[in-house]
Amino acid sequence: MKSRKKPVRRPKKPIRWRHVVLLVTLICLFAGGWCWYVRQPAWAAHEALRLGADDDAEQLLEAAGKRWPQQASWKADVEFLRARLARHRGKIREMHEHLLAARDAGYDLEKLKREQTLAKAQLGEMRGAERDLATLLNDPRGDEQEICNAFIQGYLQIQQFEAARQLLTSWAGDFPEDPRPLFLRGTVQMNIELWKEAEADFRKALTIDPKHFQSAYHLASVLLTQKYPDRAMEYFRIAAQDKTLKLTALAGQGHCYRLLGKPEKARVLLEKILEDEPNDVTASFELAKLDMDNGDYQKARVRLEPIVAADSRHTDARQQLAVVLRVQGEEAKAQEHFLAVKEINEQLANASDLAERITMDASSADTRLQIAKIYLQYGSRREGLMWLRSNLTIAPEHPASLRELEEYYRVRYREEPGNDRFLELAEEYQRRQNVPLQNTP
């Protein structure tokens, strides 16, 4: 018998661990790179929102929506950031829609509740929101700036300037690299006519960020108020670099040139504004004053009459138009405007007197409503709205204030039918009166 050969065993190839490690590393790098690519826009959007760069955040969220897969947890994050952007822009209905989408995708319910509290604060509904302020600040969860900004906007809405100043001082101390609290505190100082303090805050904000154009514009305005047109000019030029401030900053420069005795330079600048924006009120008014300085009263009249027709509460324009009409021998028309200006000024002075005597409790609700109505009829709508909102802080269900707010927003919606936010707010204040919703605004 032939003997069987034993099978030859081939030696096993050694595992090449270097190749395994390399492969695993490549897989991890690919996965990490893909994750970074997908999630980076949302991370950047969160940071942009924190810094108040809402336009940048909007673009980043558009990119995030295109890159992110429809995985629930990831979608929830994007929807929440979209809700925050909508809140920043005052689009409360849109904010609620995104918050609901975030909730349905599994977002943290406590964070959603906190965002709704910030929305209430931002709208000036401080009675409920203020109770949560200490809790939010004790456990900010990385949202310190969001919390401060929302509550400060609310305090400004209801004219609680001292509370706003205190919160802004804390914000500025905790985040010394952020120009926003200094800018906002500067605007508060302007409201209470602390011009030197406002100037200091705007200068500090510009030291932190030389391109904080809002601070530059407000600093120029403060310097102009203090009768330093030469210094104001420098900051109007800086502010004009921002596309949203360009026209008003150029008009400010034109005003400075007129005060500095350089009417031709002022005219060139102001006429340039009207080439881009023919209906710019500030430029037209400044040119009318230049025309009056030159004795060209008819030209000034042509500029002033449309301004007064569009806004009968523009007392400066009405006063100048009255002067023009008197020079042209139309005494009756001139007197009509002089008397109107006098009545407006008297009514606003009365509102200021009433404001000095009010208390911080519900007993002042009727007086606050009276002040609000004066401003809505004779002064600034913004001032009137602030007084109405402040009334709801001390008397949340004050019927007359709720009716006035509903009517205010219905008027605004008729003026701007495309702005659904006005209709939304009108319906909200109508609901709070327990009145069935109307079919039409």
**376 and 275 in a common domain:** no
Point out the domain boundary residue: 255, 290, 325. Answer: 290
Contact 297, 320 (CB under 8 A): no
Largest pairwise CA distance in the chain: 145
Residue 378 and residue 428 in one domain: yes
Residue 169 domain-assigned (yes or no): no
Residue 31 lies in a domain: no
Do 309 and 279 lie in one domain? The reply is no
CA–CA distance, 372 with 409 (Å, rounded to integer): 14
Distance CA 239, CA 219 (A): 10
303 in the same domain as 270: no
My answer on whether 258 and 319 are in the same domain is no
Residue, of 439 and 79, whose pLDDT is higher: 79
Q: What is the pTM of this model?
A: 0.76
Provide the CATH number for the domain around residue 331. Answer: 1.25.40
Assigned domain for 94 exists: no
- Residue of 143, 134, 192 lying closest to 165 (CA atoms): 192
Q: Look over the chain and give the mean of its residue pLDDT values, rounded to a whole number.
A: 85
Instruction: Find the domain containing 315 and state its range.
Output: 295-356
Same structural domain, 184 and 285: yes
The DSSP-derived string for 199-251 is HHHHHHHHHH-TT-HHHHHHHHHHHHHTT-HHHHHHHHHHHTTSTTTHHHHHH
Reported for 104-111, long-range contacts at CB under 8 A and 24+ positions apart, including other chains, are 105/72, 105/73, 105/75, 105/76, 105/79, 106/72, 106/73, 106/76, 107/76, 107/77, 107/79, 107/80, 111/80, 111/141
142-191 tens-digit pLDDT: 888 899 989 998 888 877 888 899 999 999 999 999 999 999 999 999 98
In a domain, 215, yes or no: yes
Q: How many residues does the chain have?
A: 441
pLDDT (tens digit per residue) in 225-245? 999 999 999 999 999 999 999
Regarding predicted confidence, which is higher, 191 or 285? 285
Domain boundary among 309, 328, 356: 356
29-80 pLDDT per residue, tens? 554 454 444 456 766 777 777 877 778 878 877 877 765 555 545 788 888 8
More confident call, 138 vs 71: 138
Same-domain status, 214 and 273: yes
Do 185 and 280 sit in the same domain of this protein?
Answer: yes
Angle at 57 between CA 78 and CA 133, to 5 degrees: 75
Q: What is residue 238's predicted lDDT score, i.e. its pLDDT?
A: 97
Number of domains in the chain: 3
At residue 26, the pLDDT reads 57
Per-residue confidence (pLDDT) for residue 52, from 0 to 100:
77
Would you place residue 437 in the very low, low, confident or very high pLDDT band (cuts 50, 70, 90)? Answer: very low
pLDDT of residue 28: 58
Domain for residue 66, yes or no?
A: no
CA neighbours within 13 Å on the CB side: how many for 144?
13
Look at residue 96 and tell me if it is in a domain.
no
More confident residue, 83 or 129: 83
CA dihedral of residues 119, 123, 125, 128 (deg, nearest 10): 10
Please tell me whether residues 338 and 398 are part of one structural domain. no
Same domain? 202 vs 280:
yes
367 and 332 housed in the same domain: no
Examine residue 1 and state whether it is found in any structural domain, yes or no: no
CATH assignment at residue 201: 1.25.40.10
